[in-house]
Structure 1
């Protein structure tokens, strides 16, 4: 039986199951509103979710090795993903439980109101921050340290081409991959954080100035920002980084500085739009007019009146902007014009280790090497978005 025919039969069975669920629920509960008013699409979704869950449980317990001794990569990757999901969920729950009993009164109250997704996000961010700060202590070797054995397989088993001194193996020139993965947190996340701070300083300052001064100053800045925002950011950054690579020459560290400035300027346009929009709504308030009548200067208006009232949306935008900057840096590094060697970077690691995906049928752990760097990027992005969503929920004034 072909895969498509099996899929069609499964969808037909789920469709029939959705109708049967709604019909049986109406009859067994005396036509209660929960089943009487249930749309068919909702009943279909319930049955589809149950079918997916049953299939996932069945697939999870499939053997990881064939009778010939060949590993089944799909099952092994699925098991690792499920185990990681359960592990992170338990860790997030315990972290939230700890936060409810340890800390100041304000922090305990915050953890009591915090959903599990936000707890997960904060925990992941703290782990990444810990790795970034103490990478030099946690990494077994230096990020640029080269060893004689190249392309050592992960696992540390010498019989299968590994090395017990390098648990995740070595790359094509003999650098320890575990050390570079740890240093990647310091370089990628640290540079992304510094770039985001610079973008917010530029965009936020100019946005508040435009909202306060208005007139020709606002018009000039707004039209310049419109021009920059009309160009796709990644393509524009790639073009400017190509030019900057010619300026930097052999000074690789200078190219990283250029990258920070270029991405910060490009992303500051989005921050400018938000800061200007929020500032425009604040400058028309009565307390701003009262401050002007008292003779307060521009610095007082921006830092004492506008900024405190714009903190919530700016914090939420900071989290989102950090994700975009983080992904942009990883993309540029993947294309070869981002963070330069010998600095370790997750985007560069994905590019350099992508060839190992071809060995998934023989060694799933080897094929997982590029997925580790890509997963580190994706995990931090999801975690930051979870925290941003919670911050937006709190600042909106909504109640559960």
Structure 2
């Protein structure tokens, strides 16, 4: 038995005993469960499995610590009312907000953070990592780290623009249909049904094949695909609001449709719509990355995470994880946004712990 294994189990047992002595029930259950799992994994996989568990637990603890500090920082700098809401946010939501903040900083300040240009050739093809290239070079000799930083601006920026377009179109149509009703509601509803009946990927590929893989075409195609989903939710939420007595009172006062939407309906439907915006962003982000992987998204030499996975996929055959880094960046942002959306949905539902 190696010294690492002995120290590992002594540390876990000692931490479990301390948690039990100070009556920290949740910490004790977590630590002793980890001890039992490590015991089984140690028998099956040996010291290597225990090292993997230790590294994973250390990374989780580090992420939890960073999330806690970031949440407390937001509580301090935020206004009092918002600070009280942020204080109740779980660590998963704080972790999601920290990741979103990190991506935003990387995208906004990409020219200052990236050591090289996104299309600058500085080495030979697939050059290994060194002091100047943290992640090595791609198939053309461009710095992978710089292209990932620029990809945060290009990929996330395109997905955010398409989401805003889809959300504006769908939310406006849904609010208008719920407020006016009648034939307008029927026409918009049937149009949404027709668009939703077409598979999203097939529709996007058809649009891009006809009009070309340009940024404007991508935004319009994605907005048309996801606007009906936003329309359905907005129509349902606003439909529950328009039947309220204060809406009828406003109509009797002679208020116009614009006033009803801006002053009466929209303030009472903001929470679920904001949560839906986060979900739609995840769907749009994954679709944009998938289109780029297929070669119909953002075109070279512009850095894009989806195309970076495709361009460097041959490295996987040689045991290199470089193509997985942009894929991990896509997955991490998707998970982070979902963490924040889950918390917002919990708050808007009115549930209490």
Could you say which TM-score interval applies, normalised by the shorter chain? 0.7 to 0.9
User: Could you say which residue in structure 2 is the equivalent of 1:264?
Assistant: 223
Deviation at 1:50, TM superposition (A): 6.9
Which position in structure 2 is the counterpart of 1:328? 287
Q: Counterpart of 2:125 in 1: which secondary structure? A: coil
CA 1:321 to 1:136, structure 2 compared with 1: closer, same or farther past 3 Å? same
**What is the CA-CA distance between 1:231 and the residue it aligns to?**
1.4
Verify: 1:97 aligned to 2:72, yes or no.
yes
Q: 1:147 and 2:109 equivalent?
A: no
Q: In the alignment, is residue 119 of structure 1 matched against residue 94 of structure 2?
A: yes
Per the alignment, residue 271 of structure 2 pairs with 312
Aligned to 1:206: 173
Matched residues, number: 321
Task: Find the aligned partners of 2:71 and 2:154 in 1 and give their Cα distance.
Answer: 29
- The reply to whether residue 136 of structure 1 matches residue 111 of structure 2 is yes
Q: Is the 8 A contact 2:42 2:49 kept in 1?
A: no
**Bigger shift: 348-357 or 98-107?**
98-107
Within the candidate set 182, 189, 199, 1:222 is matched to: 189
Give distance in 1, aligned partners of 2:81 and 2:325: 36
The equivalent residue for 2:158 is 191
TM superposition score normalised by structure 2: 0.85
Q: 2:203 aligns with which of 217, 223, 236?
A: 236
Residues of 1 paired with 2:216 and 2:59: CA distance? 36
1:392 corresponds, among 341, 345, 348, to 345
1:62 to 33, 48, 54: 48
Distance 2:333 2:66 in 1: 16
Paired position in structure 2 for 1:35: none
- Is contact 1:60-1:79 (8 Å) kept? no
Alignment partner of 2:327 out of 365, 374, 396: 374
TM-score normalised according to structure 1 size = 0.75
**Alpha-carbon offset, residue 143 of structure 1:** 0.7
**1:83/1:177 CA distance change after superposition, 3 Å:** farther
Distance of aligned partners of 1:300 and 1:103 in 2 relative to their CA distance in 1, 3 Å threshold: closer
Q: Which deviations, in whole Å up to 9, do the C-alpha atoms of 1:196-240 show, x marking residues without a partner?
A: 111111000011111111111111111111011111112221222
Distance change >3 Å, CA 80–CA 378, structure 1 → 2: farther
Residue 81 of structure 1: how far off its partner (Å): 5.7
**C-alpha separation between the residues in 1 aligned to 2:56 and 2:327?**
14
Aligned to 2:146: 179
Please tell me whether the aligned partners of residues 121 and 382 of structure 1 are also in contact (alpha carbons under 8 angstroms).
yes
Quote the offset at 1:146 in angstroms: 1.8
The answer to whether the 8 A contact 1:147-1:175 is kept is yes
Query: SS at 2:259's partner residue?
Result: helix
Aligned to 2:134: 167
Q: For residue 293 of structure 1, what is the aligned residue in structure 2?
A: 252
1:89 Cα deviation from its structure 2 partner: 2.2
Residue of structure 1 equivalent to 2:316: 357
The one-character-per-residue Cα deviations of 1:158-213 (angstroms, maximum 9, x if unpaired) are xxxxxx32221111111111000001110111111111111111000011111111
In 1, the alpha carbon distance for the partners of 2:58 and 2:159 equals 29
Q: Distance in 1 between matches of 2:347 and 2:198?
A: 34
Q: CA deviation at 1:97?
A: 3.2
Flag the 1:56–1:345 CA change in 2: closer, same or farther, 3 A: farther
Contact 1:208/1:279, CA 8 A, preserved across alignment: yes
SS for the counterpart of 2:322 is helix
From 234, 237, 243, the counterpart of 1:275: 234
